[in-house]
Chain A
């Protein structure tokens, strides 16, 4: 399969890239790792007159801890995240997810920026960004701006990014002591998108009660879903069995999946419940609770 014709641009700087995006507008798309975009172009599910490859722009590939944040450059490959001790030790929820994304060969090319900015509800990292309360940094013609992850997803393949903005960095607040996170995903086989998946990040107080929690769901609607009712219900409570079971039910209610070859609506909602429960239990355990 061959994509429809397009012009390929390889800017050397972000400013140059933004200029290209500004001049071509809707006819233009950013190419990062290409692991979602190129299959879409090949299947002719999408076509653009211009692709702007940000793969050779220096300084977009890094993982560092700075000022209470874990900062990840948008061009950082999934395989790099997978092998990062910093990720594994500071945000195990992200380490859980990365090795479940696509397959090892795809992870050698695929980037976190692409996964986050693509706007496909089947991508795993958006729900994790919601759970972690991440900030997404974008560069446009007027410079840099920050967007909270829970303000980023607007619709199917629609994000808060303007046509001439590029996601450059992901900022994750370093979780404080007594924090834990987990990502639980059900998929039919390697390389498939999730039937359902749940991302949970929480912090316990000194008594073991939940001080802060956020829950994100993957492939549960046209955008990643934040289960804020369940989070509100959990806040201030001890994470006992009954509370976790109840919160998981509340999270599943927030999902509105559509039926496809991965299952019926009922099945997917039930899986969202089960996976939320599993992720909650694991997150509590990792936070040092019971």
Chain B
């Protein structure tokens, strides 16, 4: 089986790798690039813990082949913070206690940061819909909603 030389821009840095066809994007990120902020949860494209931005769109990286991302721009949770300053959603999750165990958090942050790029003033319903592909088993989502509302206000 032939290997593929791929190149991606991840959190602003160009990285190259030689990958098997079947390597999943989440494993490229975690194992090849050693960036473990992106989590593997269910591994069946349900839970959303592996969410990253692929060319600006939040996607489940356990269900994308690394080779499909060749040439793409990827942002992971490590790329949200800019110049030592937390992204407003990160600050919101901190301020409003939007997590308990923290396992779903990287995915939640990636999905909600993408939502706020597209919609500066989401309603509670729109936030709930946006995170309907991200499962949290601790919080009951209440504080996650508050965290996103906090971030939205901060970004306006």
Which A residues form the contact surface with B (CB < 8 A)?
1-8, 10, 31, 34-35, 38-39, 41-43, 51, 53, 55, 79, 102-106, 108-109, 190-191
Q: Are the CB atoms of A106 and B45 closer together than 8 Å? A: yes
Residues on B with beta carbons closer than 8 Å to the beta carbon of A39? 44-45, 63
* A190:B133 contact, CB within 8 angstroms: yes
8 Å CB contacts to A: which residues of B45-96? Answer: 45-46, 48, 51, 57-60, 62-65, 67-68, 70
Does residue B111 face the partner (Cβ distance < 8 Å to A)?
Answer: yes
Contacting residues, chain B, for A102 (C-beta < 8 A) = 133
Cβ-defined contact, B64 with A34, below 8 A: yes
Scan B120-137; emit 1 where CB is below 8 A from any A CB, else 0. Answer: 000000000110111000
Assess the B57–A108 pair: CB atoms within 8 A.
yes
Task: Give Cα distance in the complex from A103 to B130, angstroms.
Answer: 8
Determine if B5 is an interface residue (Cβ-Cβ < 8 Å). Answer: no
B1 at the interface (CB under 8 A from A): yes
Q: From the candidates B4, B22, B59, B132, name the one contacting A2 in the complex (CB within 8 A).
A: B22
Do B43 and A1 have beta carbons less than 8 Å apart? yes
Instruction: Give complex CA distance A55, B70 in Å.
Output: 12
Task: Bin chain B's interface residue count.
Answer: 20 to 34
Alpha-carbon distance A105/B129, docked complex (angstroms): 11
With contact pairs A3-B22, A5-B20, A191-B46 given, residues A103 and B133 touching in the complex (Cβ less than 8 Å): yes
Q: Who on chain A is nearest to B21 by CB?
A: A8
CB B80 to nearest CB in A, in angstroms, measures: 17
Instruction: Please tell me which one of the listed residues A4, A8, A108, A190 contacts residue B65 in the complex, with CB atoms under 8 A apart.
Output: A8
Our pick among A2, A4, A6, A103 for the contact of B24 (Cβ within 8 Å) is: A2
- Asked if residues B59 and A105 are in contact (CB atoms below 8 Å), the reply is yes
Since A105-B134, A190-B132, A190-B133 are in contact, a sample of 8 more A-B pairs with Cβ atoms closer than 8 Å, ordered by chain A residue number, is A4-B22, A5-B20, A34-B68, A35-B45, A38-B64, A102-B133, A103-B133, A105-B51
Query: How far, in angstroms, from A31 to B63 measured CA to CA in the complex?
Result: 12
Once A5-B1, A7-B2, A34-B68 are accepted as A-B contacts, the answer to whether A105 and B22 lie under 8 Å apart by CB is no
Contact across chains for A6 and B1 when beta carbons are under 8 A apart: yes
Residue of B nearest to A38 (CB): B63
CA–CA, A68 to B43, complex, Å? 43
Contact A34 B58 (CB under 8 A): no
Q: Is the CB of B60 within 8 A of A105?
A: yes
Q: Which of A7, A8, A109, A190 is close to B59, meaning CB atoms less than 8 Å apart?
A: A109
In the complex the two chains form, what is the Cα distance from A105 to B37 in whole Å? 18
Q: Give min CB distance, B143 to chain A, whole Å.
A: 20
- The distance in angstroms between the C-alpha atoms of A123 and B64, with both chains bound, is 20
Q: Which residues of B contact A79 (CB under 8 A)?
A: 57
Residues of B within 8 A of A8 (CB): 4, 21, 65, 67
List 30 A-B residue pairs with CB atoms under 8 Å apart, sorted by A's residue number.
A1-B43, A2-B22, A2-B24, A5-B1, A5-B20, A5-B21, A6-B21, A6-B22, A7-B2, A7-B21, A34-B64, A35-B45, A42-B63, A51-B21, A53-B68, A55-B68, A102-B133, A103-B48, A104-B129, A104-B130, A105-B60, A105-B134, A106-B60, A108-B57, A108-B58, A109-B60, A109-B63, A190-B132, A190-B133, A191-B132
